[in-house]
Structure 1
């Protein structure tokens, strides 16, 4: 017998809040957020699907005005309930289902309501750490800058059988969140241009690996 995801959202949301409150966060790249805010830029936070768990909570902890794109699957319905319980509006749709409608809704959220958007750029079904087109199209249509964001969890359970190798941080563990430098994409892109932008975003996300380990320091941005 299938359980209605809407009936699970409330108890799981409560457990999620308690879990995340135990996590200890450190962030790197706050200057990039400050610079974007000073210039009045809207941002598209590009994250990997397996690093989603602590980042949704962290967005609310930072007081970021964001909306989140969530798939129309049953799992997405449960996730949407949890995210909305944190006061974050959701946009239902993905590259595999409801993509055009979701893109239109995201554009409205950015342009009319002044929200930034969080997108798992390799979701909802992968392949893992391969950027899809959604964030690129959204940035091109709105002029919002893409900000790569990564998180490392000092201790986490990895679901190796899941397509994304989803990471579940242990309670009380330390999470290091890295904000990369935001950048713009062209307002006019053909298929080759989209492919190039996807590859660039993958490289920018991968380039944050050293900062996740604390091996490098962010450069002061020139606002």
Structure 2
């Protein structure tokens, strides 16, 4: 059942934020990778990136990031109904959001990303909003090229968690008191203003970077395949 009322949507988002904040407060967070390790100091005037996060892992960096970092991030959120819940939740968490995707509102979203994200990292789920799961789409490479930022591959895994099954992907939720690993790989450089027709090689490089850093993260969490030991829960 879809919630049509904006007041109910906001209430649902606030309830979810409060619940997940409490859950994530119990968890241990480990930040790894050159970018995160060197830039956890909020006083550093560092480079800003387009951070790539697989859709199934989105909750982990969203709630594990410290407040000062959340304020310095802008998230590209789908205009789909599910995106309304996410956009409201992001606002409660001090993130900036831009609504749009490759399917809806893409041109306006890109224009807003170009003008409204100075001093902020841009967070994108490159396999959303409809999948296929963990398959890189050209949009994230195009955003990196148009904004003149390097694309930063991210891997976010938990030691123990649940998988909530969805229509085309799942959603990883940490169990209380588990360890969350937040890892960034080596940034992928994409020449500025590269036409969409010439992005194929950079999309392939970004896909490989994401696959490699996520495989490394899974090994670090003690698994040989993504969330293989997690119990599954079917979404309502």
Give TM-score scaled by structure 1 length: 0.86
Aligned to 1:77: 84
Aligned 8 A contact 1:95 1:132 in 2: no
**Residue 159 of structure 1 aligns to a residue in which SS?**
strand
Runs of 4+ aligned residues of structure 1 deviating over 3 Å after TM superposition are 35-40
Distance in 1 between residues matched to 2:206 and 2:59, nearest whole Å: 21
Gaps of 5+ in 2: 222-236
Aligned to 2:128: 123
Residue 31 (structure 2) aligned to one of 27, 47, 68: 27
Q: How much has 1:188 moved relative to structure 2?
A: 4.0
Distance in 2 between residues matched to 1:190 and 1:142, nearest whole Å: 13
Deviations for 1:32-71, whole angstroms, at most 9, x for unmatched residues?
2437996842211101000001111123356251111111
Aligned to 1:51: 57
Distance in 1 between residues matched to 2:211 and 2:171, nearest whole Å: 17
Distance in 1 between residues matched to 2:48 and 2:143, nearest whole Å: 11
Gaps of 5+ in 1: 216-223
- Kindly tell me the number of residue pairs found equivalent between the two proteins: 212
Q: How much has 1:183 moved relative to structure 2?
A: 2.7
Distance in 2 between residues matched to 1:35 and 1:6, nearest whole Å: 33
Distance in 1 between residues matched to 2:79 and 2:136, nearest whole Å: 19
Residue 142 (structure 2) aligned to one of 132, 137, 140: 137
CA distance 1:40–1:27, shift in 2 (3 Å): closer
Aligned 8 A contact 1:150 1:177 in 2: yes
**Residue 69 of structure 2 aligns to a residue in which SS?**
coil
Give TM-score scaled by structure 2 length: 0.81
Distance in 1 between residues matched to 2:31 and 2:134, nearest whole Å: 22
Provide the aligned C-alpha RMSD in A.
Answer: 2.3
Q: How much has 1:19 moved relative to structure 2?
A: 1.6
Aligned to 2:48: 42
Aligned 8 A contact 1:155 1:174 in 2: yes
Q: How much has 1:2 moved relative to structure 2?
A: 4.5
